[in-house]
């Protein structure tokens, strides 16, 4: 295993465990079992549960951004189908992030990393909207767009049908398209 690869395996295992069992089910032992390593390796790489969770949150955000290809979505069809596929392919990434968001409401320790999560998504949506030719208050449009996308992901996680969500994504595209005309 290459240097750093062990760290990524532990982070991916953390995301999977939290997505499946919630934060209450997160133990070094559960992560070690999922990653098929000795649990002392987790303490070696991260030291604390919080450090591990913060690293996993950053990793999950970047993985989500990478699979959505959001800055490059230049047509309604590409926008809609790529986002739906990204949600369906790696739902554990979103489940983990929502667990962290909920925990931030209960525990101030998690607020700053969650605010950072939303800041990173905001950057990417701003970049994407500018690439689409949006002018004016791109910042506000990006916040509104991401809020809608976040809600669609949450609805998918709750079991709302893909056809309904596809329609909602098409409406988001239409709204954005109107702002670039």
> In the predicted model, what is the mean pLDDT of residues 110-130?
94
What's the pLDDT tens digit per position in 52-87?
Answer: 999 999 999 999 999 887 666 678 888 899 889 988
> In the predicted model, what is the mean pLDDT of residues 39-53?
92
Q: Is the pLDDT of residue 2 over 60?
A: no
Mean pLDDT value across the chain: 91
- Under 8 Å between Cβ of 149 and 83: yes
Q: Which CATH architecture has domain 49-180?
A: Orthogonal Bundle (1.10)
Q: Where are the domains of the chain?
A: 49-180
What pLDDT shows up at residue 131? 87
């Amino acid at each position: 295993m290459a240097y750093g690869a062990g760290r990524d395996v532990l982070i991916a295992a953390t995301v999977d465990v939290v997505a499946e069992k919630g934060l209450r089910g997160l133990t070094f032992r559960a992560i070690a079992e999922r990653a098929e390593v000795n649990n002392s390796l987790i303490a070696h790489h991260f030291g604390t549960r919080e450090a591990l969770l913060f690293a996993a949150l950053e990793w999950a955000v970047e993985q989500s951004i990478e699979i959505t290809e959001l800055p490059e979505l230049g047509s309604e069809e590409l926008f809609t189908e790529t986002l739906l596929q990204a949600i369906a392919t790696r739902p554990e990434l979103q489940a983990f992030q929502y667990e962290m968001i909920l925990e931030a409401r209960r525990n101030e320790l998690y607020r700053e990393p969650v605010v950072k999560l939303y800041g990173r998504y905001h950057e990417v949506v701003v970049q994407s909207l500018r690439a689409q030719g949006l002018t004016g208050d791109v910042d506000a449009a990006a916040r509104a767009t991401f809020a809608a996308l976040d809600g669609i992901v949450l609805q998918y996680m709750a079991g709302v049908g893909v056809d309904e969500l596809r329609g909602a994504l098409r409406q988001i595209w239409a709204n954005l398209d109107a702002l670039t005309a």
